[in-house]
A and B are shown apart, each in its own frame.
Chain A
Amino acid sequence: MNAPQHRIDEGVRALKGEATPTAAKRRLLDHLAATRSPRTPLRVVTMAAAFAVLGLAVPLLWPKPALAEELSAMLNQGETSANRTESFYLPDSNGNLRLYMTRAVLGDKSCYRFFGQKVAIRYRSGARVIQDYGNYATIQDETSGQLDNFNNLDRLLSARDDTKTNVSRQNLGRGLVKYTINWIQKSVSGTVEITGEAVSRRPLEERILKGPGAGGVYVWAYGSTRQKDVDYVVKAGKPLYDIDAQRFEFLKLADSTLQSTVVESRKIGLVQVWADEDGKLLVALDGSDGLPEKENAVVSVDGSVGKAGTMAGSPWVNGVWGVVKLRGRSLMFVEAQVGPVGDRIKSLSVPVWFGSGASEVAVFHDIEVHRTGILAFLLAPMNQPFWQEGTQSESGPTSPSR
């Protein structure tokens, strides 16, 4: 081979071997775990909410009620003094198992790690959930956050009640028993094996033999979790956002207007501005009746231009909401990546649209900024605005505690 061709081929080989970002992939998986198809039935939404943090193995336990009680007993055994570590492995593109998630359980406390990165979650009297994202944390009611559903198999079963399942049981000797679960749902089928202790009913291993996640392995290890594995203290100075209280505040703010300006003889009201820890800014406006789908839609904060969402579609990802009906008003939401902002913005420029005409710019000054962890988590859990589908009552949380 001649030298130039060799050099080109060497370059191609090098490009194929470039590293890829594990953290970005983890964030994507987290996003997808909390995102759903708009047509997904509500019961699946409920299930997905529960599993957003639990990882992906649990939905694979799909026995029909015939063996549900037995398997429930297995999962619940010794729960009052629970001490276990669960690990979930998924095969990568080369077929090698990679640790996707671990969950350390001690009593009613749990700590999750995704791809080895710690996400701490603590349950207090089953009422509120704290989730730590490293540089900030959130707290919210369990009913509107992630549920510890692992021991509520009946809920899983009701979510999979249209699954045709065949279960066989096999004594392995030495006190072990194995369940082989063949299931079929529409045109998709799979086989899962669960091995556990016959008398204590504790599960030890789940193997996904066929179907979605084939090759995945979920492993239970008992007695290895230490107190320090589940201890969690919010460090002084770390922001702790009360999601329920913030949703309540968001709805309350939607009733009023901070300030107004006139653009092309139209009155534009600034309703509220929120910034998140990812550097995104959400601006709610009154009076604009277009959709921010223009390619060059930009939001400017104190002279610095941010990258705005440019596509209609999922507000979870693109931050493009268009006109939203909220508290009887038609508000236009615009979201943009602007980077860190202070508690007040001196000057804010936002694109507005009138009919199908070209965009104009509305400018506001000296604006209070509200803060949250991730705008999408605050506003669109399960990719659905929290004020829709009864995910949150407009009357606010049961116990505002911010």
Chain B
Amino acid sequence: MNDMDLAKTVADGDRVAMASLVEQHYDPVFRFLRNLTRSQEDAEDLTQQVFVKAQTRIKSYRGGSSLRTWLHQIAFHEFTRWRRRRRLTSLVGIERTGQEPGYSQVDEAAWLLDALDRLNPALKEAFLLHEVQELSVEEVATVTGSPIGTVKSRLHHARSMLQKLWESTHNEESYERTATQN
């Protein structure tokens, strides 16, 4: 069944179709939001909101993009709202504790997320969508509402800055090792 048929079936209130939609797309949407928020709990909440919104808005889906892109678009919107709320709650002094340490059990993943957090958010978002979520440049542009050229530029800058960050970290580690040995 193609995306449009699935969307129509979900719109008709079919529970199996909705479960199928969740089964197909929950994991990537959740990963995307967890990598953006760096919080398991918030990512779970946001992912739930994404699918509930998807269920209520599915009638408006016209097939202009894949369901995957469409869901990422909703997810990105939810994330930007979440980020705005966090800024506001931060302003009134009720910010929650920061990132949950250690949800990523793999060193490489943790390093990359830490490095991405040091980039401009727009670079991080484009990088995650393209590299991790495997969306095309055009799809990233759709999700973020940015021109294709801007997305390409952000992807290039993201890679380039990550490379610099790795080199500086690597140089510091080499220096520390050398200093220790001496």
Contact = CB atoms under 8 A, between A and B. Distances in A.
Give the interface SS of chain B, mostly helix, strand, loop or mixed.
Answer: helix
B27 A212 contact: no
Interface string A38-55: 101000100010010000
Nearest to A314: B52
A186 interface: yes
B119 interface: no
Contact of B26 (A25, A40, A317, A318): A25
Given A21-B30, A188-B8, A212 B1 contact: yes
Contact of A186 (B8, B56, B84): B8
Interface stretch (B102-110, B136-144, B146-154): B102-110
A59 B14 contact: yes
B112 A11 contact: yes
A91 B16 CA distance: 11
B156 interface: no
B69 to A, nearest CB: 16
A402 interface: no
B176 to A, nearest CB: 17
Chain A at the B interface: mostly helix, strand, loop or mixed?
Answer: mixed
A320 to B, nearest CB: 12
Interface in A2-35: 3-5, 7-8, 10-18, 20-21, 24-25, 27-29, 31-33, 35
Contact of A35 (B14, B16, B55): B55
Contact of B16 (A31, A38, A98, A216): A216
A92 interface: yes
B135 interface: no
Contact of A15 (B17, B48, B59, B132): B132
B5 A56 contact: no
B1 to A, nearest CB: 6
Interface in B89-148: 89, 91-92, 94, 104-109, 111-113, 115, 128, 131-132
A213 B27 contact: no
B44 A59 contact: no
A24 to B, nearest CB: 4
B93 to A, nearest CB: 9
Chain A, interface size category, equals 35 or more
Contacts of B66: none
Contacts of A32: 15, 18-19, 22, 51-52, 55
B13 A208 contact: no
Given A15-B31, A15-B35, A59-B14, A28 B109 contact: no
Contacts of B113: 11, 15
A57 B48 CA distance: 23
A16 B132 contact: yes
A37 interface: yes
Contact of A314 (B6, B9, B56, B107): B56
B94 A298 contact: yes
State which size class the interface on B falls in: 35 or more
Highest count of chain B CB atoms <10 Å: which of A11, A295, A296: A11
B71 interface: no
Contact of B106 (A14, A188, A295): A14
Given A4-B166, A11-B111, A18-B34, A93 B16 contact: no
A214 interface: yes
Contact of B47 (A24, A38, A314): A24
A174 B175 CA distance: 77
B110 to A, nearest CB: 8
Interface in A121-180: none
A100 B18 CA distance: 14
Given A4-B162, A8-B159, A32-B51, 7 more contacts: A8-B166, A11-B108, A17-B106, A18-B31, A212-B20, A214-B1, A295-B85
14 contacts: A8-B159, A8-B166, A14-B108, A31-B52, A32-B52, A36-B13, A51-B15, A56-B15, A59-B15, A90-B20, A212-B20, A214-B20, A296-B85, A317-B52
Interface of A: 3-5, 7-8, 10-18, 20-21, 24-25, 27-29, 31-33, 35-38, 40, 44, 48, 51, 56-57, 59-60, 90-93, 98, 100, 185-188, 208, 210-214, 216, 295-296, 298, 305, 307, 310-311, 313-314, 316-318
